[in-house]
Amino acid sequence: MKRLLASLALTLLGACGADANEKTAGPQLPPLQLAPFLPTLKQLEAEMPAPDEAAQRELREYADIALGIVEAEERIKGRVERSLLEHPDAWWTLEPALEDDNVAVRRRAAWLAGRSGQSILQFPLLQRLKYEADPEAVVWVADALQRLGNDTGLSWLGSAMNSEATAELAGRQAIAICQQRGVEVSEQPTWEELQAAMQRLDEQWRATGVGGAPDVGPPDGKQLEARVARRLATTEKTFLRPIDDARYVLNRSGVLALPLLERTLNASEPYLRTIALQVLTELGRCARPAGGAVTALLADPLTASYATRALGELGYAEALPYVRPRLDAIDSEQRSEAARALGLLGDEQSRGALLAHMQDASETLDVRVSAAFGLCCLGEQAEAERFLAEREAKQDYHGPTLTHLRERIAARSR
C-alpha cells in the first residue's frame, strides 16, 4: 500500500512538473541524466589518505611538545616545532588538536596550522570557526585560515577590533595582512581604516572564492575530494547538526569544492542535488563556472526553484532565456525565485513583466515582493521602493526577509 501511494505521489509530481514546463514554455532544456551518486561519495570518503603507524607515532610525539602538552626546554621545543611544521602529514595531528578541550591547546593548534602551509587544514579550521567561543582563539583561527588561502576569517578579524580584549591582536594581524598583500594603509592606521581594508579584502574573497595570501599551495587532491564528499554524504541522514555543519563549511570553502559540487548536481538522490544547489547559491559569483550544470536542473520539478535561485546568485546570465518563462510558472515558488533571479541578472527585458507581477493584487505576496526586489536591482524604481516600504509599514511580510532584501539592494547600488 505504501509503495502504491508513493507511486501515485510521484506520478502526480511528474504531472505537476509537466504542467509547469508547459506553462513556462521556452527553449528546450537538455534531458536530465541523473545517476546514483551517494556510493561515489562514500568511496571518495573511504579513500582519505592517512600516514602510516610509524609516522603517526612520530607526529603525536611532535604535537605533544609543540602544543605545550608536554614540557620541554626551549631549544628542543623549537626543533620539534620545526620538524612538525615541515612534516607532510602535520595536518593529521593538528586537526584533532583544534577540537581539544584545553583552550590554550586550541590557540596553539590554530597558530601552528596557519604556519604549516597545509591548505587542507582550511576545512577543520572552518569547522572550528563555527563553534569556537574563546575570542582570542577565534582570532588565531581567522588568521590561520587566511594564511592557508581562505579569507572567510577576515570579517571576523574586523569584528575582533571592536573588542578591547582582542583589538590589539587583531589589529596587528590586519596590518601584517595589508603589508603582505600590498594594501595601502596609513603608517599608524586607525581601527576604522583597518576594518575597511578587511572588508574590501572580504568582498574580493566573496567574488572570487580565492584567498589573497601569496604562495599558498593547493590542497592534496585526494584529501580534498574525501573531505568534500564526507560533508555532502552527511545529508543522507536527517540529523540537523551534521547537515548544518556541512553547509557551514562548504558555504565558506570558496572554489575548492566546486568540482565535486558540480558532479553532485547529476545525483539521482534529490537531497544531494538540493544540498549542492544550496551551497552553490551561498557561494555566489565565485561558483559561476557551475552555471551550465545548474541550468540543466530547471527541468527537474523537485529542484527547479533551488536552481532558479542559484542562477541569480551565480550571475549566470546565459540562463536568462530559460529563467524568463518561469516568471509565469504555475508554481508560485518558481515565480518568486524567477523574479529575484531576473533582477540579480540585470534583465532589463523583464522590467515590464516584473512590474506587472508586483502590481497584480491577485498574485501571492511572496511573488510581488520578489518582483519589487527584482525591479530595484534593475535601478531606481520609485513604485517598487514604495511597495517595499508599504510592506514594512504594514508589517504584513516577514521582517527579516525585507531587511535582507534591502541590504542586497543597497549593496548593489554602492
C-alpha of 176 from chain center: 26
- What is the average pLDDT across 319-340? 97
Q: What confidence score (pLDDT) does residue 295 get?
A: 97
Cell numbers 602510516: residue: 52
- What is the average pLDDT across 207-236? 95
Backbone angles phi, psi at 35, to 5 degrees: -145, 155
pLDDT at 55 over 90: yes
Alpha-carbon distance 28 to 322, whole Å?
Answer: 8
pLDDT at 22 over 60: no
Q: What is the mean pLDDT of the chain?
A: 93
Q: What confidence score (pLDDT) does residue 372 get?
A: 97
Q: What is the pLDDT of residues 169-210, one digit of tens each?
A: 999 999 999 999 999 999 999 999 999 999 999 999 999 999
C-alpha distances out from residue 335 to 17, 323, 381, Å: 14, 10, 20
- What is the average pLDDT across 213-228? 95
Counting every residue written for the chain, the total comes to 414
Query: What does the radius of gyration of the chain's CA atoms come to, in whole angstroms?
Result: 24
- Report which secondary-structure segment, H or E, holds 145: helix 135-147
pTM: 0.91
Torsion of CA 167, 142, 125, 259, to 10 degrees: 160
Q: What is the pLDDT of residues 265-303, one digit of tens each?
A: 999 999 999 999 999 999 999 999 999 999 999 999 999
Q: What confidence score (pLDDT) does residue 12 get?
A: 38
pLDDT at 8 over 60: no
3-state secondary structure of 267: strand
* Domains of the chain, earliest start first: 53-208 (1.25.10), 226-413 (1.25.10.10)
pLDDT at 13 over 60: no
